[in-house]
């Protein structure tokens, strides 16, 4: 069990990233922290293994106060997986996985044998063991990241958007593998995501956070869907499956902002000129998005050198102009700037869109579908009446037609 007791984190610049968070992540289960970018998910997670120290409050791992355990000792029992896997680029896949057991003093042969076994366990072909991370796809790298975190067999796993940077098809495979693995291992897991569908699929318990680091609701997925605590949660989870299913509709013409981007290698001064709310999008020579640059006008910009890849925040998925509304929403919610990046078919930057704009579009679609359903049902009913008026009335037929029309309207009505 991991218990957070009135945990608050205020960064030196005054930002309150996490505000008096209270919750218990049960042992042997998956607890998901979900919310838009910047709501304090990563900060909350990193306070559990003391990579970040809380400003106030306490964190308990079973009956141990985390503050009383040496960070190195604490982390021995806590696996940690991050978004871009964080693998050592110059070590083979096998050596990446064996790193922690070796550090813990296991002998080389044993550590490697165990690493090999873990690779298979996370669904990776043993042939990949000798490769280097750059020779793997994003999804394969994430599997290695999970294998590495499991290598020391820690009872607790912290996972920070481990599947967010891979495409939806691979993401789903990884989620399924992850659930299968957890079924065997029964670890105590805290899993961070911006994707409500992922939260609902994976979480035994889900904590919905809002910007400012406050807890909006902590509940089981079913409760979250059926009894959202407030309008924020309702909006975030979608009113029901039907409403959320609408997100799979093609986005059509989204109101894209004509945000300006800046090229990798140009000056930070240039990024400052195009930045909105402190964030500038950086693209490569082919105008393909590379990441976001935070320009704060303070120390970090002081040198005003050139924009290099290591300065970029890679977080955030991309949405295609012809993609789905869900994809667009995902891009907006995962973007550190709050603006989702939309690309043309050739991968070049087309513009940005906010979550509010995508949600408005989903609402619009929802209202439209509802109107159409009522009209269709009305027309069908009128048709049945016309048919009936020309012939002796069959009671069953009439009533059946009416009931059919009503249920059609209802099942297509996403707001019920």
- Contact residues for ligand ADP (CB under 6 A)? 11, 13, 15, 17, 37-43
Cβ at position 46, least distance to Mg ion in Å? 9
Cβ at position 212, least distance to Mg ion in Å? 15
CA-angle at 349, arms to 345 and 354, nearest 5°: 105
Choice between 276 and 321, CB closer to ligand ADP:
276
Cβ-in-10-Å burial (0-12, 13-18, 19+) of 246 comes to buried
Cβ at position 16, least distance to ligand ADP in Å? 8
Cβ at position 108, least distance to ligand ADP in Å? 36
Cβ at position 160, least distance to Mg ion in Å? 6
Cβ at position 42, least distance to ligand ADP in Å? 3
Q: Which does 221 bind (CB under 5 to 8 A by kind): ligand ADP, Mg ion, none?
A: none
Choice between 59 and 350, CB closer to ligand ADP:
59
Q: Which does 39 bind (CB under 5 to 8 A by kind): ligand ADP, Mg ion, none?
A: ligand ADP
Q: What is the DSSP letter of 234?
A: H
Per DSSP (E only), the strands in 231-288 are 261-263, 279-283
- Site residue total, Mg ion (CB under 5 A): 1
Q: Which does 43 bind (CB under 5 to 8 A by kind): ligand ADP, Mg ion, none?
A: ligand ADP
Pair type for strands 156-160 and 78-81: parallel
Q: Considering only residues 28 through 67, tell me which ones interact with Mg ion, judged by CB under 5 A.
A: 42
Are 75 and 149 in contact by the 8 Å Cβ rule? The answer is no
Q: Which does 13 bind (CB under 5 to 8 A by kind): ligand ADP, Mg ion, none?
A: ligand ADP
Are 151 and 178 in contact by the 8 Å Cβ rule? The answer is no
Cβ at position 25, least distance to Mg ion in Å? 17
Choice between 162 and 414, CB closer to ligand ADP:
162
Q: Which does 414 bind (CB under 5 to 8 A by kind): Mg ion, ligand ADP, none?
A: none
Choice between 18 and 122, CB closer to ligand ADP:
18
Q: Which residues does residue 262 pair with via DSSP β-bridges, in sequence order? A: 282
Half-sphere exposure of 56 (CA within 13 A, CB side): 5
156 backbone dihedrals φ, ψ, rounded to 5°: -120, 140
Q: Which residues does residue 318 pair with via DSSP β-bridges, in sequence order? A: 341
Choice between 42 and 188, CB closer to Mg ion:
42
Q: Which does 362 bind (CB under 5 to 8 A by kind): ligand ADP, Mg ion, none?
A: none
Pair type for strands 30-34 and 205-210: parallel
Choice between 114 and 339, CB closer to Mg ion:
339
Q: Which does 40 bind (CB under 5 to 8 A by kind): Mg ion, ligand ADP, none?
A: ligand ADP
Q: Which does 310 bind (CB under 5 to 8 A by kind): Mg ion, ligand ADP, none?
A: none
Nearest in space to 39 (alpha carbons), one of 300, 276, 238, 236: 236
164 binds Mg ion (CB under 5 A): no
Cβ at position 233, least distance to ligand ADP in Å? 16
Choice between 112 and 210, CB closer to ligand ADP:
210
Q: List, edge to edge, every strand of the sheet that includes 349-354.
A: 318-320, 339-343, 349-354
Please state whether 29 falls in left (phi above 0), alpha (psi between -120 and 50) or beta. Answer: beta
Q: Coil, strand, or helix at residue 194?
A: coil
* C-alpha–C-alpha distance, residues 281 and 273, integer Å: 12
Choice between 41 and 143, CB closer to ligand ADP:
41
* C-alpha–C-alpha distance, residues 123 and 70, integer Å: 34
* C-alpha–C-alpha distance, residues 219 and 221, integer Å: 6
Choice between 160 and 413, CB closer to Mg ion:
160
Q: Which does 88 bind (CB under 5 to 8 A by kind): Mg ion, ligand ADP, none?
A: none
For the chain, the farthest-separated pair of C-alpha atoms sits apart, in whole angstroms, at: 89
* C-alpha–C-alpha distance, residues 227 and 240, integer Å: 10
Cβ at position 34, least distance to ligand ADP in Å? 9
Q: Which residues bind Mg ion (CB under 5 A)?
A: 42
């Amino acid at each position: 069990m991991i218990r957070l007791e009135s945990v608050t984190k205020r960064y030196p610049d005054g930002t309150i990233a996490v505000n008096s968070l209270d919750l218990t992540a049960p042992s042997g289960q998956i607890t998901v922290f979900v919310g838009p970018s910047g709501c304090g998910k990563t900060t909350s997670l990193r306070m559990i293994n003391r990579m970040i120290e809380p400003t106030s409050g306490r964190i308990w791992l079973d009956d141990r106060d985390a503050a009383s355990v040496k960070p190195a000792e604490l982390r021995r029992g806590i696996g940690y997986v991050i978004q871009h896997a964080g693998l050592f680029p110059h070590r083979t896949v096998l050596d990446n996985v064996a790193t922690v057991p070796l550090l813990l003093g296991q002998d080389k042969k044993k550590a490697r044998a165990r690493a090999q076994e873990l690779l298979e366990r996370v669904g990776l072909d043993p042939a990949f063991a000798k490769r280097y991370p750059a020779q793997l796809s994003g999804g394969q790298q994430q599997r290695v990241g999970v294998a590495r975190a499991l290598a020391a067999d820690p009872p607790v796993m912290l996972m920070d958007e481990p599947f967010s940077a891979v495409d939806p098809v691979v993401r789903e495979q990884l989620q399924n593998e992850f659930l299968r693995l957890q079924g065997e291992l029964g670890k105590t897991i805290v899993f961070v995501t911006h994707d409500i569908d992922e939260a609902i699929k994976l979480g035994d318990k889900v904590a919905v956070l809002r910007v400012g680091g406050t807890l909006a609701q902590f509940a089981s997925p079913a409760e979250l869907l059926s009894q959202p605590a407030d309008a924020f949660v309702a909006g975030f989870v979608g009113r029901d499956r039907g409403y959320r299913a609408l997100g799979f509709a093609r986005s059509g013409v989204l109101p894209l902002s004509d945000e300006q981007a800046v090229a990798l290698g140009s000056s930070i001064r240039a990024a400052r000129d195009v930045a909105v709310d402190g964030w500038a999008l950086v693209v490569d020579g082919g105008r393909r998005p590379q990441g976001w640059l935070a320009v704060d006008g303070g120390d970090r910009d002081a040198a005003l050198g050139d924009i290099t890849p290591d300065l970029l925040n890679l977080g955030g998925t991309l949405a295609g102009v012809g993609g789905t509304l869900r994809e667009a929403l995902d891009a907006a919610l995962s973007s550190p700037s709050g603006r989702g990046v939309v690309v043309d078919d050739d991968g070049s930057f087309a513009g940005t869109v906010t979550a509010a704009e995508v949600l408005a579009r989903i609402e619009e679609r929802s209202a439209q579908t509802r109107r159409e359903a009522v009209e269709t049902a009305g027309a069908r009913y009128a048709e049945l009446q016309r048919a009936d008026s020309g012939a002796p009335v069959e009671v069953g037929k009439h009533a059946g037609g009416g009931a059919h029309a009503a249920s059609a309207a209802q099942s297509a009505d996403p707001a019920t």
